[in-house]
Amino acid sequence: MVTIDLAQTTVRKVNEILRGFGATHQNAEIVNPDAKHYIGVGLVTPTKVIIRGSAGYYCGGLCDGPHFKVDKNVSWGVGDNLLAGSIEVGGNAGAIAGVGMRGGDIVVRGNVGSRAGQVMKKGTLCCAGNANFMAGYMIYGGRVIILGNSGERVGEDMMGGEIYVGGKVESLGNDAMLVEPSSTDLDSVMEFLDRYDIAFQGSFKKIVCAGKTLRYGTAEPRLRKIPFTTFSSGGAEDYWNAKVQEDIRVKAHIGRYRIRGYGTSRHLPHFQDIAFKADLTGAGMDPDVVSRVNLRTFLGEKHGGRSLDLSMPVMIAPMSYGALSKQMKLALGIASRMSGISENSGEGGMLSEERAEARQMIAQCLAGRLGWNVHDVKRADCIEIYISQGAKPGLGGQLMAEKLTREIAAVRGIPAGMDLRSPSRHPDILGGDDLIMKVEELREATGWRVPISIKLGAGRIRDDIKIALKDGIDFVELDGMQGGTGAAGSEVAEFVGIPTIAGLQEAIDGLAEIDCQGQLPIVLMGGVKDGVDAAKAIALGATAVACGSSMLIAAGCIACMQCSVGSCVIGAATQDPEHTARFDVEKRALQVHQYLEAIRWQLASIAHAHGYSDIRQLSRNDLVALTPEAAALTRLPYDESLAGKVRGRI
């Protein structure tokens, strides 16, 4: 046992030491902890750590295996995402104790704050005192034992797991119900209490999920497609068009809002409404144009992490294993490696096979912490904190039961077969000040090694980006409302958020307003389809772009927009083996790769035709707006004469 005096050093240093001790099976005692944050974050060895005093935020967060004993109190998020091991707290714990835990034991001998065990999946969280409101909030599995009183709305929106209350059940949460505990249940609980020397004389009440809201009711009728030929835009005849009527009739049938895949379907001001001033008819005449223009892009070195090294300013947008089949994810991983860019896990955990294929992999951290774990964090090349996305900003992810197979559920650590609606808000990021704490926890967990980015759906981006800048984010992934998804309420996909070009303009304006132009790289996504769009985005001020829907189309997606149904004809957005059998990983990977290479060729050709040797030489001065809307949204000069004509043929 080695003693470390936290008064003499920093938490960052202590965590490095603990990791080193872990490797040599040494235990440690920490004195003078002074309620500092992040003590012991990211330990993956069965080290024993005794903290002589109180710890701050995220004590023992993102760990697998260690045993912590804290003499006094801990602040919020103790044992965040614990995979195995134990944490014993002698005093009280703050809010969200055991948030997102996936195994191991957390024992708090005093009281716990609100939302104890939020989104936990496995393991046991035990509170010997009283719990505050919403204990067991949205738990997917695992066991919460409260010896004292439950607090208000215990088990709110729980989807699995079990909660034992020894004291008073103050009120039950939505979709929670009381059942009689079995003797096996009680034996197991008592065995746990004995193990931690906790005496209890009373009787337990057991709370489980009532299961009334796990599934949507009637399924939507299966339709092959929703043609867009008309929108409610061209006069009275078009106003009540077939699509409007279809929506009304389907809702009358199913009694709930409609769900579909893809992003906004109607017309929005977009990149096609912007043109390059230069005559590009001769673009790409140089057979070796790709080697004439520097496209290589580094992202994320701002806070000392090892940046992503992209062969061109293009990334693959986050799309989950779950929304997509394993085969499609593999194809994306392979293509990203072949083209020297990055792939992204999306929500729901990192697929090991894909991690192996992709050279650079971004791990996405979402509110439900589905599949989230310290090992994926450590093997990621970048961490992306998802705040919201373009297709359904302000809401969480959705995965219909048809696609939440046992395998997917196992990766995510949740029960199979429900219509999964992920939480809309992180348990521990309620606003800008919590965000900064979360960023630091992740930096500790990764040893300050990788960049940390944030994904934002375009909305109040002018202000949001200022928060991101101040919270120590390395880069922002900005998703306009054209951004696609595997499942979203169709009205939300259609009408919430602002167009991609408007989002970018707002972000750039926001940074300019606080004199921080160019200080926070922006990766723009949301309907970026080719090198032309990418070049325009970069000229407007984006550092890079990311493509999602177009990657799937490159792999054969026919844009039927029925991704949520789970019977994708090409086997990309499905988990059904009968359907994935139609997906040829190698062939599709090559197609995605060729698509990316075409983007590279286009980027290089456009820059070269302007006489530039670096893609970053493109600027707003090279662009004009072709429509009054595009001009108003981007403040580019409006040149009507170019509209409807191919540049250079005028």
Q: Phi/psi zone of residue 619: left (φ > 0), alpha (ψ -120 to 50 degrees), beta?
A: beta
CA dihedral 510, 515, 521, 522 (to 10 degrees): 20
Least Å from the CB of residue 152 to another protein: 13
Cβ proximity to another protein: between 42 and 348 the closer is 348
Residue 646 in tokens:
């191919």
Least Å from the CB of residue 551 to another protein: 9
Cβ proximity to another protein: between 10 and 281 the closer is 281
DSSP 3-state assignment of 112?
strand
Cβ proximity to another protein: between 16 and 597 the closer is 597
Q: Which residues are within 8 A (CB) of 28 and not within 5 positions of it... i.e. 6 or more apart? A: 1, 2, 3, 4, 17, 18, 21, 47, 48, 49, 50
Cβ proximity to another protein: between 147 and 391 the closer is 391
d(CA 450, CA 377): 10
Strands, sheet with 475-479, edge to edge from the N-terminal-most edge strand:
314-316, 544-547, 522-525, 475-479, 452-457, 382-386, 360-365, 342-344
Cβ proximity to another protein: between 40 and 527 the closer is 527
DSSP 3-state assignment of 603?
helix
88 φ, ψ (degrees, to nearest 5): -110, 130
- Strands 382-386 and 398-399 come out as unpaired
Cβ proximity to another protein: between 486 and 503 the closer is 503
Least Å from the CB of residue 157 to another protein: 6
d(CA 632, CA 620): 14
Least Å from the CB of residue 466 to another protein: 7
Least Å from the CB of residue 601 to another protein: 5
Burial 283-292 (b: 16+ CB within 10 A, else e): bbeeeebbee
Cβ proximity to another protein: between 351 and 555 the closer is 555
Q: Beta partners for 476?
A: 454, 522
Least Å from the CB of residue 550 to another protein: 5
Least Å from the CB of residue 229 to another protein: 6
d(CA 353, CA 335): 13
Residue 403 in tokens:
């696609």
Cβ proximity to another protein: between 23 and 646 the closer is 646
Least Å from the CB of residue 137 to another protein: 9
d(CA 89, CA 74): 7
Cβ proximity to another protein: between 273 and 441 the closer is 273
Cβ proximity to another protein: between 172 and 633 the closer is 633
Residue 457 in tokens:
């759906």
Least Å from the CB of residue 301 to another protein: 23
**Amino acid sitting at position 367:** A
Cβ proximity to another protein: between 63 and 399 the closer is 399
Q: What is the DSSP string of 178-215?
A: EEPPPHHHHHHHHHHHHHTT----S--EEEEE--SSSS
Least Å from the CB of residue 191 to another protein: 34
Least Å from the CB of residue 425 to another protein: 4
Residue 175 in tokens:
């979709």
DSSP 3-state assignment of 399?
strand
